[in-house]
Structure 1
Amino acid sequence: MYCHRTSNGKRIANFVCANYGKTPVGSKCSFGHRINADAVIDILQDTLRYLKSMIEDDSELFVEQITQVESDNRDAEIKKKQDRLKVCKKRIDDLEKLICKIYEDNALGKMPESRYDTLISQYSKEQSSLKAECEVIEEDLAEIEANRHNGKNFVNLMARYNNFDEIIPFMVSEFIDRIEVHERDRKGSQQTTQKIDIYFNFIGNYCMPTPELTPEEIEERNRIEAIKDKRHKQYLDRKEK
């Protein structure tokens, strides 16, 4: 996302979607969503403070947990890509056999020239597409292995900082791989929730555990959300008139 200061008189900084404006517009992201920059920084500060406290309590346990989660996620992703790679390579081999077969049939006069041209074009196009996909998958597998997360490196990085009262650009570069901000749950409404995924260097995506709500708190939250939904619907109805 890009940092953008809106011309609203207050010059409030917002992060706006970097993919929405890609040509053609909307091809990579269907909505041009944004989020208050201070909200992102606050979440980042809270997450870093939480991680700092976890490491100070038991750094070995932290490394063990991160390693286990990363290993499970990586192994599942690798298996999925390897399975797809096998399917693609098998289909490439099958297509090669089909191409040889129709070439032979055409040479022996068993297949009309027009039919041969259609099939050879179809098979060659599919084969080229699969070969390109194989290259991408192999690059992805190599990148996954090269970017293997390391909890110990993150612990060493965290040891260089005493607190996170102020977040400066250099700290963001050291700690953050990327931050993904999703569309608002209630599109067009300011009073709504919005999912944020923070991907840290060395440990990947990490989200602080949320406290378990009591039945009373859940009921109150649902009541408030129902009011917000009603008011948002009323706003949309007025907007359409």
Structure 2
Amino acid sequence: GGKNACSSHYINQKVLTQIVMTDIRCKAMWAQNSRETLRTQLLAREQNASVERTRTLQAELNAIGKRLPELDKLIQSAYEDKVLGRIPESVCVNLLNQYEAERREKQERHKELTGQLAASRETESSVDAWLDMMQDYAQLEELDRPTLVRLIQKIEISERYTVDDHEERDIHIYYNFVGYIEA
């Protein structure tokens, strides 16, 4: 899209560095002084977002779990029907190819869904890891690249807008493991 889709957003590097350092210090102090409150808030937010997703993934996983044994029975039945002469060989081969393709697809999707469910269950350990990591940054003096890469996933800077005759903009800092945290 380029300039037609989004306007240019510019912020001075020193200003942004100061904002990020202040936010990191704030979150680090919060992690030190109110660890359980922050942990509860982060886990509740993640749980609310993932409950429906987990339910959907689990339902699809259950459906696949039922379909795979059905496919095994259908493959066996098609082979037996061919051997007993109930269906022509060409029909049997066509059915077997279709059933095999569906079974491979279902098995791949089963692996994928299992991985996604495991990832959603890792939220609690991710939050704890983030809280442990943040406590080291309460007295951050200088923001360097390794610190930035370790802590920050992305920073979003919105367009300027006017409030009471002065310009403002929103800056959202997304942390690794936990995302954006409202102050």
Class of the TM-score when normalised by the shorter of the 2 chains: 0.5 to 0.7
Counterpart selection for 2:36 from 60, 84, 101: 60
Report the TM-score, using the length of structure 1 for normalisation.
Answer: 0.53
The equivalent residue for 1:205 is 179
| Contact in 2 for aligned 1:88/1:130 (Cα 8 Å) | yes
| Deviation of the 1:132 alpha carbon | 1.1
Sort the Cα spacing of 1:88 and 1:145 in 2 relative to 1 into closer, same or farther, 3 A.
same
In the alignment, what sits opposite 1:171? 147
Answering whether residue 40 of structure 2 is matched by residue 73 of structure 1, we say no
> Is 1:91 paired with 2:67?
yes
Aligned positions, number: 165
The residue identity in structure 1 corresponding to 2:84 is L
Report which structure shows greater RCO (CA 8 Å, sep ≥6): 2
Deviations 1:128-170 (A, max 9, x none): 1111111122223333334534545434332322355642122
Cα pair 1:62 1:151 within 8 Å, conserved: no
Distance 1:115 1:62 in 2: 62
Q: Does 1:115 align with 2:91?
A: yes
Structure 1 range deviating more: 45-54 or 163-172: 45-54
Q: Which has the higher helix share?
A: 2
| 1:125, distance to aligned residue in structure 2 (A) | 0.5
TM-score (norm 2): 0.67
Percent sequence identity over aligned pairs: 20
Q: Is the 8 A contact 1:67 1:150 kept in 2?
A: no
Cα offset for 1:68?
1.8
Paired residue for 1:154? 130
RMSD in angstroms over aligned alpha carbons? 3.7
Q: Is the contact between residue 154 and residue 175 of structure 2 (CA under 8 Å) also seen in structure 1?
A: yes
Greater Cα offset, 58-67 or 122-131:
58-67
Q: Which runs of 5+ in 1 are unaligned?
A: 1-33, 186-192, 210-241
Q: In structure 1, the residue corresponding to 2:143 is in which secondary structure?
A: coil
Matches of 1:197 and 1:112, distance apart in 2: 64
Deviations 1:32-82 (A, max 9, x none): xx9879598677546435524644664432222112223333443332222
2:116 pairs with 1:140: yes
Matches within 5 A, 1:32-43: 38=13
Bigger shift: residues 98-107 or 167-176 = 167-176
